[in-house]
A and B are shown apart, each in its own frame.
Chain A
């Protein structure tokens, strides 16, 4: 008799996972984000980050950028399952690290720091398009745009300089050159 105490098969080998950025164009209607998020949670896919906003006010089209991780088979399923949803117009899929794709995340850091420290911090953020959004004697808020890894690292570095609050967006993506997603 089989050892397994289940009427289901035992799991097979799990392949190597890859990180993908999936861009979805959807009708901006009630519940659409729940449909997308529900598809991911219901089928056991993973959402690492999510960015949504309407990009076409007239046609009410929203663009959703999802960072996810999975085996190639799972990533293919995510694409195909998304395309089946009624409000989804198109889906584009990129592997993290692809050359002709741009990715950006935005982060806001609130720091407790005097002006001397502030200079040091600005230097630290120099590569990541820093913008000071708010400034007092004791504190300031700095905005940076960068890749996820860079922001991760920066947030760690900033801890020493009095970082008290972090707010981050999900990743957004765009192709390089004149080409657009089809």
Chain B
């Protein structure tokens, strides 16, 4: 007869058996028995956030930068509803999260009790699965299943709702390896047939204008996937572009890399996507920021789509060859097969794709990421470039908020390793970056973690600076401060006749003083002359920093695919029709 232990203890036993080291959370009435149990489990450290959304994003940052699932502990009612944004964000960007929420005691469920809400009902559309545990003897099975669902297949968030009486009740604990071998939801383990691989290789062999289009799936598949991707790209000599989420899977400064694609992607990446005759999508999902107008998306190409989630294939774009697989496994077998059959591929292919590369080089000559720099005022792109130059020699982790600064960061910061870039792509959650940086710093102590932020976004979760100070996490909040919701203002300028409706923030706080009041360091840079020196100062400080980088208020993010347009109709800049002298441009 196994020993009977309380539900709260079962929770921690399960977390221990899942090798959880950190949980991010916020206590409250309905989750107090679990918090009470915390003291008895020394291997698990709790990080107290200042808001459940912050706890959720911190767990996301932890998960994205470490490859391990993030764990979140919140109370019932408002605790759970505050976590919804983070759960939805994780759902859209395929981040494994396990959220444990307290619930009112079972006998009060449905009575509109204090801090009661239908947590499983509310979170059903934003989790892979959720459970309301009404029997303490189900608890250990459900918790282990929750970890399995969150981390297998296409990763994502799950939620386990535990009523307070279940946390007190005594029950049996069992560490069962769940047999959750659901073919389509689990790690796709079906062995790829040589026939499938040969079809894949044949398409690559016959193509004269190929392109790799890779996404977050490569990152989620683990570090091996990035390694194999680099090998395959170098074996084939094909050009490669990446989505926002996929940055870092392939070195950003490699000559075969065309930069990010999509709405604010490079001219060469988008044109290559439009004109290619073979598109090899690995772990990306044909998101609408990527495809633009679906009817005119890459009209002349054959398309291969590799995805672990069968429902991603054919959702937005029809493809010619669909491969349901884990990226790492596919690439491994593909490279093996490729090497067996096509020893001289690279040489014979160089000729075949030489014209294609010539064309790509022509597109590259447009230098679409150029901007007109100034020596009076800090251009936001320049700030990101300087940050990159001054941090590229150390292992740096970048998070972002959402908006113009996010796109500039994606365009101008070059990532060479996976899991170094944490950004809210699918949901586009302003306020993601600061708490995410906290999670990243927890997972990567001693490393430099910078949140490239906008002043509007960062104010949405600014309270988490207090968390950073409490746990001595020296995160750097690098705010490109233009006093506007920059991306909103840009759309209003381009699409709404410059009616800047509610996109200016009057009465912003003094970020330097704000930093000081939190007990961290505030730094302000106002001119290009002092920028480098101040950035270096920021890097050297061993405390959390809020860096107020005062930038040009009216700068827009280019290049840009306007709405409803295909990839080959990009706007390159504000003075598109005028020739900008090379001196006026800054090379990227």
Contacts and interface: CB of A to CB of B under 8 A. Distances in A.
A84 B564 contact: no
A86 interface: yes
Nearest to B487: A7
Contact of B288 (A1, A8, A76): A8
Contacts of B309: 84
A178 interface: no
Max chain B CB contacts within 10 Å: which of A38, A73, A80? A80
Nearest to B158: A86
Given A86-B128, A86-B129, A9 B564 contact: yes
B124 A76 contact: no
A4 B564 contact: yes
B565 A2 contact: yes
Summarize A's interface: helix, strand, loop or mixed.
Answer: loop
Contacts of B108: none
Contact of A80 (B182, B311, B318): B311
Interface residues of B, number: 31
Interface string A56-87: 00000000000000000100110011011110
Contact of A30 (B132, B182, B311): B132
Interface in B222-278: none
Given A12-B295, A31-B120, A7 B563 contact: yes
B459 to A, nearest CB: 22
B495 A34 contact: no
A2 B311 contact: no
A176 interface: no
A35 B128 CA distance: 11
B323 to A, nearest CB: 15
Interface string B388-426: 000000000000000000000000000000000000000
Contacts of B70: none
A38 B288 CA distance: 23
Nearest to B124: A38
A110 B106 CA distance: 42
Contacts of A9: 288, 291-294, 563-564
A6 interface: yes
Contacts of A77: 311, 314-315
A31 to B, nearest CB: 6
Interface residues of A, number: 26
A5 B495 contact: yes
Contact of A6 (B184, B293, B315, B563): B563
Given A9-B293, A77-B311, A86-B149, A1 B128 contact: no
A81 B314 CA distance: 12
Max chain A CB contacts within 10 Å: which of B184, B311, B314? B311
A117 B565 CA distance: 65
Nearest to B495: A5
A13 interface: yes
A4 B563 contact: yes
Nearest to B134: A30
B184 A83 contact: yes
Contacts of B149: 86
A10 B288 CA distance: 11
Nearest to B293: A9
A84 B563 contact: no
A42 interface: yes
Interface of B: 120-121, 124-125, 128-129, 132, 149, 182, 184-185, 288, 291-295, 309-311, 314-315, 318, 491, 494-496, 562-565
Given A2-B495, A2-B562, A9-B294, 16 more contacts: A2-B564, A8-B563, A9-B291, A10-B564, A12-B295, A31-B124, A38-B125, A42-B125, A80-B311, A81-B311, A83-B184, A83-B185, A84-B185, A84-B309, A86-B129, A86-B182
The 5 A-B pairs of least Cβ separation, nearest first, read A80-B311, A2-B562, A86-B129, A12-B295, A10-B564
